[in-house]
Amino acid sequence: MPFPNIDPIAFAIGPIAIRWYALSYLAGIFIGVGYGMLLVKRTSLWMNNNPPMTANELFDFAFWIVIGIVVGGRLGYVVFYDPAFFAANPLSILALQDGGMSFHGGMLGVMIAMIVYLRHKGANVLSGLDLLACCSTIGLLLGRVANFINGELYGSVTTMPWGVVFPGGGDLPRHPSQLYEGLLEGLVLFLVIRYFTHIKLVLRSPGTAAGIFGIGYAASRIFVEFFRLPDAHIGYLAFGWLTMGMVLSLPILIAGIALIVWAQTRRHA
Considering only the C-alpha atoms of the chain, give the largest distance between any 2 of them, rounded to a whole number of Å: 62
CA-based angle 58:61:67, to the nearest 5? Answer: 145
**Each residue's pLDDT tens digit, 156-187:** 999 999 999 998 888 999 999 999 999 999 99
DSSP E strand boundaries for 131-237: none
Three-state DSSP class for 13?
strand
CA distance 37 to 46: 13
Quote the pLDDT of residue 132.
94
CA distance 232 to 210: 32
**Of 100, 96, 119, residue with least CA distance to 231:** 100
Structural domain boundaries in the chain: 9-268
Q: Could you say which DSSP state residue 9 is in?
A: E
Q: Is 144 flagged in the annotation as binding?
A: yes
Q: pLDDT band for 2, please (50, 70, 90 cuts).
A: confident
Quote the pLDDT of residue 99.
66
| Contact partners, residue 201, CB within 8 Å, separation at least 6 | 45
What DSSP string describes 17-84?
EEEHHHHHHHHHHHHHHHHHHHHHH-GGGSGGG--SS-HHHHHHHHHHHHHHHHHHHHHHHHHHH-HH
Average pLDDT, the chain: 90
